[in-house]
Amino acid sequence: MSLENISANKSFGGWHKQYSHDSKALNCSMRFAIYLPPQASESNKVPVLYWLSGLTCTDENFMQKAGAQRIANELGIAIVAPDTSPRGEDVADDEGYDLGKGAGFYVNATQAPWNRHYRMYDYVVNELPELIELTFPVTTKRSISGHSMGGHGALTIAMLNPDRYQSMSAFSPIANPINCPWGVKAFSAYLGEDKSTWLKHDASVLMSKATQFVPALIDQGQGDDFLVEQLKPEALSNAAEQSGYPLTLNMQQGYDHSYYFISSFIESHLHFHAKHLNM
């Protein structure tokens, strides 16, 4: 699978690079970013944290705003940030910001016209890691994290694939999408009206029934405008209590939904993942 290097920037001794490639899973050209710390070499491969971004974002939001490279350098962790959806002129879209381009929701769409391109689950779980591990000096040890829609993606993907991820974390995740407007709109379009097909993409449902545990850390701002209607962290708390899931959920007073919040706590998340990646 050929890669085209779009950009390269030195950062804290390592390199932040953007690449494009043709994706078989998504049937279009895709872009991702990777930060390789200076420790990474063919003789010293490093583990990877996959970061999934939220609605309207691309690979650039996290890499430019979170301030994660300094800590990734110290810990010897690579970071990979894919785009949030397929892109291109022939890719289906919607007038709203919460469906279509920039809003892939990390599921495999089964409904037309979305099912031609919107297979973000397959891309994140299988195609992208295979490409990263074949191309760059990284190990097969993976953790996953994300924000908002990407937090939903990180949690559900890790719980559906507990043998593939050492740890999972999220900032302000859409915790119970089957019961919030963002999730209902996206799942109705991508997965259809049969709500039984939605359940495996709901973090609270998965956590309540889990028997294999991926260590989990979540930070949620109490000043988040989307807290009550869209995010519903209490559903995750209840689910973890029901199954005995090893969840740490921190409610952070005054913080909102922005990257000011993420950059304030990204260091603790990276240390959390490093603990599990380096075991």
- All residues at 6 or more sequence positions from 234 whose CB lies less than 8 Å from its CB, including other chains: none
**Cis amide linkage into residue 86, ω under 30° from 0:** no
Q: Write down how long the chain is.
A: 279
Tell me if 80 sits within 8 A of 50, measured CB to CB.
yes
Give me the catalytic one of 145, 148, 169, 204.
148
CA distance linking residue 83 with residue 33, whole number of Å: 8
Q: Phi, psi (5° rounding) for residue 270?
A: -65, -35
Reading the block at residue 256, the tokens are: 């909102």
How far CA 213 is from CA of 116, 164, 172, 243, in Å, comes to 33, 12, 20, 10
Query: Do 29 and 88 meet the contact criterion of CB atoms below 8 Å apart?
Result: yes
Gap between the Cα atoms of 267 and 237, Å rounded: 23
Rg (CA), the chain: 17
Identified catalytic residue from 83, 202, 219, 224: 224
- Any catalytic annotation for residue 219? no
41: DSSP letter: B
User: Which residue do the tokens 């999972």 mark?
Assistant: 168
- Of the candidates 16, 257, 269, 273, the residue annotated as catalytic is 257
224 is catalytic: yes
The secondary structure of residue 159, as a DSSP letter, is: H
Provide the 10 A C-beta neighbour count for residue 55: 22
Smallest CA-to-CA distance from 115 within 55, 187, 26 is with 26
Active site residue 98: no
List the catalytic residues: 148, 224, 257
